[in-house]
Amino acid sequence: KSIIQARNIEKIYSNGCHALKNVSLDINRGEVVVIIGPSGSGKSTFLRTLNQLESISDGSIHIDEVSLTDRKTNINKVREEVGMVFQSFNLFPHKTALGNVVLSPMKVKKKARTVAEQEGRELLKKVGLAERMNNYPSHLSGGQQQRVAIARALAMHPKIMLFDEPTSALDPEMVGEVLDVMKSLASDGMTMVVVTHEMGFAREVADRVVFMEDGELVFEESPERFFSSD
Ligand code: ADP
Ligand code: ADP
C-alpha cells in the first residue's frame, strides 16, 4: 500500500486563490518523488497539505493509511511522522546545533536529555557535523544550518521527509553538501517528496518526477524519460 495517498485534492485559500486543482498522487514506501514547476504553481502548498500545515478544501489524503481529514485523527501524531525541511532553516538562534536537534524529542516525545543527546550526536555525525555540535547557528554556514535542520527533522524518526526548496537559500558552494545528505537519506530508503530546482538531484536520485502547473499536476514520469532528449 502507498504510504502517501493524495486523492483529488483541492485547495482554495481564503483569498480565493485556487492553489490545487484535482491533485492526485500515490507515493510508495521508500520512493523519492521530485516536484518541479514554475513559481506559484502550487508545489509548496501541496507539500504543506501532506502534514496538514495547510488544510485541504476537498479530496482526501492518507498518510500510512491514516486519513488526515478524519476528525478522529491526531494530527500532531501524523506531523511527528512527516518531517519537513524548509528553504529557510528556522533554527533556534539561542540553541546550539545539538540543542536544536534534541528539542522536539525531549519536549514532544518526552525523551530523557541523555538519550536525546546520544541520538542527536549520532544524527549530527550522519549529516557531517560531528565537529560542529556545540556551535550556535550564527557560527554555522547556511549549508551547515540546513544540515542541522535535516538532523532535527530526523530526530523525530519520521516515516516521510518533505523538502521545500531546501537548497534555494544557499550559496552555490553549499548546495552540494545538503544534496549529499539528502542522497544518503534516499539510499537509506527514506520516503521523500522534494520540491527543488536542482535537476541534477532529480535525475540522479528521483524515482519519479512530477510537474505542476497552475495548481494542477500536469504529468509524472521516470527521470530517465523526463531527462531524455526525445
Ligand atoms: P509554488 O510553491 O509552486 O511557488 P505556492 O504553493 O507557494 O506555489 O503557491 C500557489 C499559489 O497559491 C500562488 O498563487 C500563491 O500566491 C498562492 N498562495 C500560497 N500561499 C498562500 C496563502 N497563504 N494565502 C493565499 N494564497 C496563497
Ligand atoms: P514560496 O513559493 O517559496 O512558497 P511565496 O512567496 O509564494 O514563496 O510565499 C511565501 C509565503 O507567503 C508563504 O508562507 C505563502 O503561504 C504566503 N503567500 C504566498 N502567496 C500569498 C497570498 N497571495 N496571500 C497570502 N499569503 C501568501
Please determine, for residue 219, whether its predicted confidence score (pLDDT) is greater than 90: no
Which has the closest alpha carbon to 67: 125, 17, 9, 123?
9
Strand 32-36 to 191-195 pairing: parallel
pLDDT for the residue numbered 228: 80
pLDDT for the residue numbered 224: 81
Cα 28 to ligand 2 centre (Å): 29
pLDDT tens-digit series, residues 100-126: 999 999 999 999 999 999 999 999 999
pLDDT for the residue numbered 229: 67
| Residues 136/93, Cβ–Cβ less than 8 Å | yes
DSSP letter at 112 equals -
pLDDT tens-digit series, residues 15-42: 999 999 999 999 999 999 999 999 999 9
Which has the closest alpha carbon to 127: 177, 90, 91?
177
Amino acid (one-letter) located at 108: V
Cα 20 to ligand 2 centre (Å): 14
pLDDT for the residue numbered 213: 97
Separation in Å, CA 97 to CA 90, 148, 218: 12, 6, 40
Please determine, for residue 82, whether its predicted confidence score (pLDDT) is greater than 90: yes
Please determine, for residue 230, whether its predicted confidence score (pLDDT) is greater than 70: no
Cα 211 to ligand 1 centre (Å): 16
Report the Cα 208 to chain-centroid distance in Å. Answer: 16
Separation in Å, CA 102 to CA 116, 120, 135: 5, 6, 14
Helical (H) or strand (E) element with 120 = helix 113-126
Q: Quick check: CB of 44 below 6 Å from ligand 2?
A: yes
Please determine, for residue 218, whether its predicted confidence score (pLDDT) is greater than 70: yes
Mean pLDDT of the chain: 95
Cα 19 to ligand 1 centre (Å): 6
Which has the closest alpha carbon to 35: 168, 206, 230, 149?
206
Q: Quick check: CB of 14 below 6 Å from ligand 2?
A: no
pLDDT for the residue numbered 66: 95
Ligand sitting nearest the alpha carbon of 37: 1
pLDDT tens-digit series, residues 170-190: 999 999 999 999 999 999 999
The residue whose CB lies within 8 Å of the most ligand 2 atoms, and thus the one to mutate among 13, 36, 44, 48, is 44
Mean pLDDT to the nearest integer, 81-90: 95
Ligand sitting nearest the alpha carbon of 39: 1
| Residues 68/78, Cβ–Cβ less than 8 Å | yes
What is the C-alpha separation between 55 and 84, in angstroms, rounded? 16
Q: Quick check: CB of 44 below 6 Å from ligand 1?
A: yes
User: Which pLDDT band, with edges at 50, 70 and 90, does 222 fall under?
Assistant: confident
Q: What percent of the chain has pLDDT over 90?
A: 94
What is the C-alpha separation between 9 and 25, in angstroms, rounded? 9
Starting at the edge strand that comes first in sequence, how are the strands of the sheet with 18-27 ordered?
18-27, 4-12, 58-63, 66-67
Please determine, for residue 48, whether its predicted confidence score (pLDDT) is greater than 70: yes
